[in-house]
């Protein structure tokens, strides 16, 4: 750790800055969440969870289950309950450590809904109409789009701003929402005086968007119509290996990292690189002059081993009662911080008489 300033105690490691106040070091804060709308997939792991795990040692980390976002589309109560429990167990099985990261359920902290409404009232219709997810769904003429789907970006802003997060690790598809969060925070600060920290989105260099194995122009997603394109973290490992073996590639036949002309291959290389930690260039050079089949075999085995280990830990956690314990403790810690912030907001906007 290097001291940056002689006048005050500011230190830095490679990618973190610490400010020392009194006898303690204040860490930068990070916050992120995942919606429990379906089973988690490799895109969620690579774009989000693997980052949470990586950063939990260096940042003060808040990771939550965005269950209030999950009801923007219809979902059965029993499915939501199961997805929520699975998600916590998977967070832990993926290596999130509750002694380092505060893991909590959004609906356990009522300040999210409260600030969500305030942020909705800070947003303009035009801003929300420009949000990709809403725009895509309306462009496709989808029926039954809820008002919640339209106003969920301000709720996401509230999720972030309640905790004064410095960074928000997300996949690239969520960047637009973090940008809106910055706009809303600045607007509020301008209108009512300085209240919120302006957060920054944080995306990975490799894997900020993992694509469908069957259509590498589309992102891997929970709602994709072709299950062969998505590897769920709870897929049977042998079935997942088969999905890798049948992944769409191209007819160029040369192993190189070229997302433009060989998107399917680039996607596979990304998956292998994130799961093993081996840089993409190194994988490419090991496969010089070799065929796609051989590479797929190796990646299939990597995915098989990754899922087998992960699911063993997941099953153990689910039966251990740890999920309830972690959520109870997380709700207490998160509520303490969020309630303080909402009290401040209520005072500023004139709710507290
Ligand atoms: P959600 O649940 O759709 O996705 C959770 C995280 O996974 C990332 N992700 C991907 N990354 C790479 N490749 C993919 N194919 C892929 N698919 C998903 C997403 O970018 C995200 O980081 N609105 C959010 C949840 C949320 C949130 C927040 C996140 C609510 N409040 C506050 C951060 C901060 C969502 O729907 O993510």
pLDDT at site 27: 87
What integer pLDDT is reported at residue 216 of this predicted model? 94
Cα 99 to the center of its chain, rounded Å = 20
Question: What span, in angstroms and rounded, lies between the C-alpha atoms of 19 and 55?
Answer: 17
Q: Which of 100, 175, 197, 222 is catalytic?
A: 222
Query: By the 8 A CB rule, do 154 and 115 touch?
Result: no
Which residue has the CA at smallest separation from atom 7 of ligand 1?
A: 44
CB within 8 A of 164, min separation 6: which ones?
29, 196, 197, 341
> Given 28, 85, 137, 242, which residue is catalytic?
137
Q: Which of 33, 37, 52 to mutate to test the pocket of ligand 1 (most atoms within 8 A of CB)?
A: 33
In contact, 37 and 87? CB cutoff 8 Å:
no
Of residues 53, 219, 248, 296, which has the active-site annotation? 219
Pair 70, 105: CB distance under 8 Å = no
**Ligand 1 center from residue 88 Cα (angstroms):** 15
- pLDDT at residue number 221: 87
Q: Exposure string (b/e) for 189-211, b if CB count within 10 Å is 16 or more?
A: eeebeebbeebebbbbeebbbbb
Count of C-beta atoms within a 10 Å radius of residue 140: 9
Q: Is 51 in the pocket of ligand 1 (CB under 6 A)?
A: no
Q: For ligand 1, atom 19, name the residue with the nearest CA.
A: 171
Q: What is the pTM of this model?
A: 0.90
User: Which one, of 214, 288, 213, 227, lies nearest residue 257 by Cα?
Assistant: 288
CB of 201 shorter than 6 A to ligand 1: no
For residue 87, give the 3-state DSSP assignment. Answer: helix
* Ligand 1 contact via 160 beta carbon (within 6 Å): yes
pLDDT digits (tens, 9 = 90+) for 70-96: 999 999 999 999 999 999 999 999 999
Atom nearest to 208 CA in ligand 1 = 12
Atom of ligand 1 nearest to the CA of 37: 2
CA–centroid distance, 177 to ligand 1, in Å, is 10
The pLDDT score that the predictor gives to residue 15 is: 54
**Residue ranges of the chain whose pLDDT lies below 70:** 1-25, 224-225
Q: Is 137 a catalytic residue?
A: yes
Count of alpha carbons within 13 Å of 219, Cβ hemisphere only? 17
| Cα–Cα dist 73/65, whole Å | 16
Contact residues for 226 (Cβ-Cβ < 8 A; gap 6+): 212, 214, 215
- CA 281–ligand 1 middle distance (angstroms): 27
Question: For the chain, how many helices (H) and strands (E)?
Answer: 14, 9
Return the structure tokens found at 92. Answer: 């832990």
pLDDT at 20: 56
Q: How far apart are CA 52 and CA 71, in angstroms?
A: 24
pLDDT, position 288? 94
State the DSSP string of 167-207: EEE--GGGHHHHHHHHHHHHHHHHHH-S-----EEE--SS-
Ligand 1: residue whose CA is nearest its atom 20: 171
Write out the two tokens for 13.
Answer: 């490691």
CA of 48 to the centre of ligand 1 (A): 7
pLDDT for the residue 161:
98
Residue 38: predicted pLDDT: 85
- Are the C-beta atoms of residues 43 and 221 closer than 8 Å to each other? yes
Q: Which residue CA neighbors atom 34 of ligand 1 most closely?
A: 32
- Does residue 66 line the site of ligand 1, with CB under 6 A? yes
**219 CA: nearest ligand 1 atom:** 15
- The question of whether 28 is a catalytic residue gets the answer no
Give the per-residue pLDDT at 17.
59
Pocket of ligand 1 contains residue 168 by CB under 6 Å: yes
Task: Give the pLDDT of residue 206.
Answer: 77
Q: Which pLDDT value is given to residue 26?
A: 73
pLDDT at position 9 is 56
For residues 122 and 134, what is the distance between their CA atoms, to the nearest angstrom?
18
């Amino acid at each position: 750790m290097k001291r940056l300033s002689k006048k005050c105690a500011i230190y830095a490691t490679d990618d973190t800055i610490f400010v020392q106040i009194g006898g303690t070091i204040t860490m930068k804060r990070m916050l992120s969440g995942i919606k429990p709308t379906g089973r988690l997939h490799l895109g969620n792991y690579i774009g989000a969870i693997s980052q949470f795990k990586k950063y939990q040692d260096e940042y003060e980390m808040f990771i939550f289950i965005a269950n209030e976002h999950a009801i923007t589309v219809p979902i059965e109560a029993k499915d939501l309950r199961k997805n929520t429990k699975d998600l916590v167990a998977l967070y832990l099985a993926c290596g999130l450590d509750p002694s380092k990261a505060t893991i909590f359920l959004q609906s356990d902290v009522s300040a999210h809904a409260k600030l969500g409404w305030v942020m909705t009232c800070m947003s303009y219709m035009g801003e929300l109409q420009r949000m990709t997810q809403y725009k895509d769904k309306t462009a496709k003429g989808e029926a039954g789009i809820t008002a919640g789907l339209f106003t969920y970006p301000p709720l996401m802003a509230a999720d972030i701003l309640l905790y004064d997060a410095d960074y928000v690790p997300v996949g690239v598809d969520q960047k637009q929402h973090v940008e809106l969060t910055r706009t809303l925070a600045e607007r509020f600060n301008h209108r009512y005086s300085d209240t919120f920290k302006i957060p920054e989105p944080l995306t990975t260099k490799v894997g900020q968007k993992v694509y469908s194995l069957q259509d590498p122009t589309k992102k891997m997603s929970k709602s994709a119509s072709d299950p062969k394109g998505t590897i769920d973290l709870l897929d049977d490992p042998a079935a997942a290996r088969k999905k890798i073996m049948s992944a769409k590639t191209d007819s160029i036949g040369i192993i190189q990292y070229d997302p433009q002309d060989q998107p399917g291959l680039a996607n596979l290389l990304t998956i292998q690189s994130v799961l093993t930690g081996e840089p993409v260039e190194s994988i490419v050079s090991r496969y010089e002059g070799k065929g796609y089949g051989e590479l797929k075999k190796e990646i299939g085995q990597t995915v098989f081993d990754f899922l087998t280990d992960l699911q063993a830990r997941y099953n153990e956690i689910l039966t251990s009662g740890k999920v309830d314990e972690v959520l109870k403790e997380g709700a207490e810690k998160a509520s303490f911080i969020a309630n303080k912030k909402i009290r401040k907001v209520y005072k500023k906007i004139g709710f507290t008489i």
